[in-house]
Amino acid sequence: MPRLTGVKKINIAVFLSGTGSNFKNLIKYSLKKNSKFKIRLAVSNKSNSKGLDYADKYKIDKKIINYLNIKDSEINILNVLKKNKIDVICLAGFMKILTSNFIKRFKGKIINIHPSLLPKYKGLNTHQRVIDNNEMFSGCTVHYVNSKLDSGKIILQKKVKVLKTDTSDKLAKRVLKQEHLLYLKALEKVLTNL
C-alpha cells in the first residue's frame, strides 16, 4: 500500500452487515495517495456478511460481534477499536442500533449513510415507501449518528429523481451509485473538521 511520508492517516473502522458495496468503495478510495484515511478494521454482526470478503481481499482486520448481549458486545467492540487506534467509525449498512453509551464514547465521530432524504423515510424499505407515496425525489443522506434512529445532524445529501418506471430495485441501484460518491465527500468533510 502506498504510504505518504510525514502525513498521518486517520484510522477508520467500517461497521457493516450486508453486501458491503459502500465498504468496498471506501477501501478503494483509501488506497489512493491523497486519501486522508486508512481503513484499519471491519466490524460485522454477521459472520456470513458478503462485505467481509472485501476485508479478506484487502487484508483488513475484521471482527465479528454476535450481539447476543448488547452490553458485552459493545464493550468487546470498544476494546477492539481502542487496540486498533480507531479515530472515526463509518456505518455502512450496519443493521444494529448502537446504544447511547457507545455513541458518547465516539461523539461526533460516527457517521452513517442512509438511502433517503432524511428526515423523510427513516428505517427500512425506504425505496418502496418513496414509490408508494409518489415522491418526485429520493436520494441519500450522510449524517452523524446519535441515539435516535437516522436522526443525527445531516452532513451531506444528494437528490435522485424518481422515475415513473421505477421499481424499488431500480431506484435502489441509482441511489446506491450516488451513495458511493456522497459517502466519500462527507467523510472527507468530517475528517477535515477533526
The residues assigned a catalytic role are: 114
Which single residue is written with the C-alpha cell 471491519? 42
Sheet containing 61-64, strands listed edge to edge, beginning at the edge strand earlier in sequence:
61-64, 37-44, 10-16, 88-91, 110-114, 137-144, 154-161
- Output the nine-digit C-alpha cell for 103: 455513541
- Spatial separation of the C-alpha atoms in residues 26 and 38, rounded to whole Å: 9
Whole-number Cα distances in Å, 5 to 9, 29, 36, 45, 85: 10, 18, 12, 35, 19
DSSP tag of 148: S
- Spatial separation of the C-alpha atoms in residues 151 and 158, rounded to whole Å: 17
